[in-house]
Amino acid sequence: MILSEAELKSLIETRQQSPHQLLGMHPLGDGSGVVVRALLPHAAKVEAVPVHEPNQPRIPLKRLHKAGLFEGATRAATRVYAYDLVITDPEGHQQRTRDAYSFLPTLGDTDLYLFGQGNERRIYEKLGAHPRSIDGVAGTSFAVWAPNARRVSVVGEFNQWDGRIHPMRLLGPSGVWELFIPGVGHGALYKYELVNAQGALQLRADPYACCCETPPKNASIVWDDRRGSWSDAAWLEARRERDPFRSPLTVFEVHIGSWRKKSLAESFSYRELAGPLADYVRREGFTHVELLPVAEHAFYPSWGYQVTGFYAPTSRYGSPDDFQFLVNALHEAGIGVIIDWVPAHFPRDDWALARFDGTALFEHEDPRKGAHQDWGTLVFNYGRHEVRNFLTANALFWCDRYHIDGLRVDAVASMLYLDYSRKEGEWIPNQYGGRENLEAVNFLKEFNHLVHTEYPGTLTVAEESTAWPLVSRPPYLGGLGFSFKWNMGWMHDTLRYFSRNPVHRKYHQNDLTFAMLYHHHENFLLPLSHDEVVHGKGSLLGRMPGDDWRRFANLRALLAYQWFFPGKKLLFMGGEFGQSREWDANGELDWWLLEQGPFHVGLQRFVADLNQLYLQEPALWDADYDHDGFFWVDCSDQENSILSFVRQNRDRSSQVLVVLNLTPVPRLAYRVGLPRPGYWREILNSDSALYGGSNLGNLGGVTAEDYQVHQQLYSAALTLPPLSVVAFKPQG
Residue 153 dihedral angles phi and psi, to the nearest 5° = -125, 155
Nearest Cα neighbor of 494 from 547, 560, 448, 428 is 560
* 3-class DSSP state of 380: strand
Rounded CA-CA distance 284/573 in Å is 11
| Amino acid sitting at position 213 | E
What is the distance between the alpha carbons of residues 657 and 674, in angstroms, rounded to a whole number?
A: 8
Q: Which amino acid is at 690?
A: L
Please tell me the distance from the alpha carbon of residue 293 to that of residue 305, in angstroms, as a whole number.
Answer: 6
410 is catalytic: yes
- CATH architecture of the domain with range 109-221: Sandwich (2.60)
Instruction: Report the distance separating Cα 387 and Cα 313, nearest Å.
Output: 20
pLDDT of 31 reads 83
Return d(Cα 290, Cα 253) in angstroms, integer: 5
DSSP output for 10-42: HHHTT--S-GGGTSEEEE-TTSS-EEEEEE-TT
Architecture of domain 5-100: Sandwich (2.60)
pLDDT, block means (10 residues), the chain with 732 residues: 84 92 92 94 96 94 94 93 96 95 96 96 97 95 98 96 96 97 97 96 97 96 88 97 97 97 91 97 98 96 96 97 97 98 96 97 94 92 97 98 98 96 92 96 98 97 96 96 98 97 97 96 98 94 96 98 98 97 95 94 98 98 97 97 97 96 97 97 98 96 96 97 98 84
Query: DSSP letters of 584-626?
Result: -TTS---GGGGGSSHHHHHHHHHHHHHHHHHHH-GGGTTTTTS
Q: What is the dihedral of CA 481, 486, 489, 493, to 10 degrees?
A: 160
Rounded Cα distance, 23 and 342, in Å? 42
Q: Is the peptide bond before 216 cis (omega within 30 degrees of 0)?
A: yes
* Residue in 111, 410, 576, 609 annotated catalytic: 410
Amino acid at 117: Q
Instruction: Give me the catalytic one of 111, 386, 463, 576.
Output: 463
Q: Which amino acid is at 194?
A: L
Q: What is the pLDDT of residue 3?
A: 87
How many CB atoms lie under 10 A from the CB of residue 9? 14
**H helix or E strand, kind and range, residue 517:** helix 515-518
Using DSSP's 3-state secondary structure scheme, residue 88 falls into strand
- Predicted pLDDT at 534: 94
Nearest partner of 214 among 162, 278, 266, judged by Cα: 266
Q: Are 109-221 and 286-484 equal in CATH topology?
A: no
Residues in the chain: 732
**Closest alpha carbon to 36 in 45, 724, 27, 584:** 27
**d(Cα 258, Cα 9) in Å, to the nearest integer?**
55
Cβ neighbours around 7 below 10 Å, total? 15
Tell me which of 1.10.3720.10, 3.30.420.10, 2.60.40.1180, 2.40.10.10 is the CATH number of domain 626-730. Answer: 2.60.40.1180
Q: Centre a 10 Å sphere on the Cβ of residue 33 and count the other Cβ atoms it contains.
A: 18
Quickly name the fold that domain 286-484 has: TIM Barrel (3.20.20)
Taking phi first (over 0 means left), then psi (-120 to 50 degrees means alpha), and beta for anything else, what does residue 14 get? left
Rounded Cα–Cα distance for residues 211 and 641 (Å):
54
Q: Is 213 a catalytic residue?
A: no
Beta pairing, strands 679-685 & 568-572: unpaired
Q: Which residues pair with 142 in a beta bridge?
A: 129, 179
The three-class DSSP label of residue 92 is: coil
Distance CA 584, CA 589 (A): 8
Domain ranges for the chain, please list them. 5-100, 109-221, 286-484, 626-730
